Amino acid sequence: MTYLQLVSEHPSLLFPVAITAIVVIFLLVVISSLTVGLIDRRLRKSKNATLPANQSAPGRSILYTYPTTFAGAEHGESVWRLLNTDLYQYILSELQKSLQREGFKLTSFKDERIHLPRNIHKTIAKQLVVQKEQYLAPLKSQFECEKIAQNAIENGSAVDMLERILVINSELGWYITHSDGTRDWLYQNLPYRQMKITIRATKEMLTRDVVRCFRDIAYQIKEFSFTDKTMETTETVDVGITCEVQRWNKSAPPGFFPGAAGRTVPHNIEEQHFSTVIPDSCKQYVLLLQGINSTSPEAMAALLDNAAERIAEGESTGADYDDDYGYAFKVFHPGQCS
């Protein structure tokens, strides 16, 4: 018997059956709504859990993958990577500038690569440590940065840092070569070995006493090998004679003698060394020596002996140089300025 036949035979059943049907339909609608809401909520939660891997939460760029947990391992690694990327981009930029200042450049041609001379390597390593300190602590003084860099040179950490950077660059296809082939010969002569000797003698002292002092210094030069360290000593040699000796290496041009050869004092020496002498009651003898990378202590001593001989003969100023090897001197009488 169908539903319509049952209702036609028993009209009193129409209302209860209709109410039951409405209740069932209402319950189905409620259950369906709850189910759809729960599914939508779970989908939203799932989407938020993947943010920002494939889409961005409000206010975040869709171009960057954000760590899911603040202060988590992924977050820490991201911050470390960003900070070090900025730092080493800066260091690499400064490395390129330093290489250019020293007459070198970067190349992608492996067959053109060269090894940096030891003195240039140390110079650039020291510069990079200074730049790194200034980057990390902008308010730190130049003196403090230089002191840290010098310590890094002495303990080897500066040279080691530069060496590791150069090795990684080589693995990535960046090599060092000369920026100008014509400068190869010039850089084979570096560093310049430079000395400045200043003798102050009272009016009572004779020229031969001063010359003897120069010859004693020449003898000492022959007895000691050169070092990379800057040296400065002041000594009272005799009653009435004081001697100051400064010795250093210069890793880049120009040197004392920019001309090819000559026997007159170059203008740059007059301007930078002789014109700065302060006259007093003593007679002052200022003598400059310069050799090249391959100059022996004996050769430097011979330069000094030659200059001393000219002073002994009464010359008050003079020079003798060939390319980057030679000497220049000047004698200042009491009260005389350059």
* Domain identity same for 210 and 176: no
- Cis check for the bond before 16: say yes or no (omega within 30 of 0): no
How far lies 316's CA from each of 175, 276, 283, 313, 329, in Å?
51, 17, 11, 9, 8
Report the pLDDT value the prediction gives residue 64, as an integer from 0 to 100: 54
C-alpha–C-alpha distance, residues 49 and 47, integer Å = 5
How far lies 142's CA from each of 131, 145, 189, in Å?
10, 5, 30
pTM for the whole structure:
0.48
* Domain identity same for 148 and 182: yes
Q: What is the mean pLDDT of residues 237-257?
A: 88
* Domain identity same for 93 and 44: no
| One-letter amino acid for residue 103 of the chain | G
Residue at a domain's end among 154, 187, 220: 187
Q: Which residue has the tokens 């002498």?
A: 277
Q: 251 or 14: whose pLDDT is higher? A: 251
* Domain identity same for 125 and 223: no
- Cis check for the bond before 52: say yes or no (omega within 30 of 0): yes
Work out the number of other CB atoms within 10 angstroms of the CB of residue 206: 10
Copy the structure tokens of residue 73.
């391992």
Specify if 159 maps to a domain: yes
Specify if 62 maps to a domain: no
Structural domain of 34: 3-50
Specify if 59 maps to a domain: no
* Domain identity same for 134 and 160: yes
* Domain identity same for 98 and 222: no
Q: What is the mean pLDDT of residues 236-259?
A: 87
Report the pLDDT value the prediction gives residue 199, as an integer from 0 to 100: 96
How far lies 250's CA from each of 102, 146, 230, 247, 306, in Å?
12, 17, 10, 10, 23
* Domain identity same for 203 and 322: yes
* Domain identity same for 170 and 285: no
Please calculate the CA angle 108-109-111 and round it to the nearest 5 degrees: 150
Specify if 142 maps to a domain: yes
Number of domains the chain contains = 3
| Contact indicator for 120, 168 with CB cutoff of 8 Å | no
If you average pLDDT over every residue of the chain, what do you get? 82
Specify if 66 maps to a domain: no
Specify if 60 maps to a domain: no
* Domain identity same for 117 and 202: no
* Domain identity same for 220 and 327: yes
Report the pLDDT value the prediction gives residue 318, as an integer from 0 to 100: 96
C-alpha–C-alpha distance, residues 153 and 156, integer Å = 5
Copy the structure tokens of residue 117.
């001379």
* Domain identity same for 207 and 324: yes
Nearest Cα neighbor of 216 from 308, 296, 280 is: 308
Residue at a domain's end among 162, 187, 212: 187
pLDDT band at 228 (very low <50, low <70, confident <90, very high): low
Nearest Cα neighbor of 195 from 244, 262, 242 is: 244
Specify if 166 maps to a domain: yes
Specify if 57 maps to a domain: no
Nearest Cα neighbor of 195 from 127, 243, 126, 237 is: 243
Q: What are the residues whose beta carbons fall under 8 Å from the beta carbon of 263, sequence distance 6 or more?
A: 318, 319, 320, 321
Residue at a domain's end among 187, 219, 243: 187
Copy the structure tokens of residue 115.
């090894």
* Domain identity same for 178 and 209: no
Transcribe 50-114 into DSSP letters.
HTTTSS--TTS-TTSPPPSSTTSHHHHHHHHHHHHHHHHHHHHHHHHHHHHHTTEEEES-GGG--
- Residue pLDDT, tens place only, 36-59: 666 666 656 555 444 444 444 455
Report the pLDDT value the prediction gives residue 167, as an integer from 0 to 100: 92
Copy the structure tokens of residue 86.
């900025």
Strand, coil or helix: what is 249?
A: strand
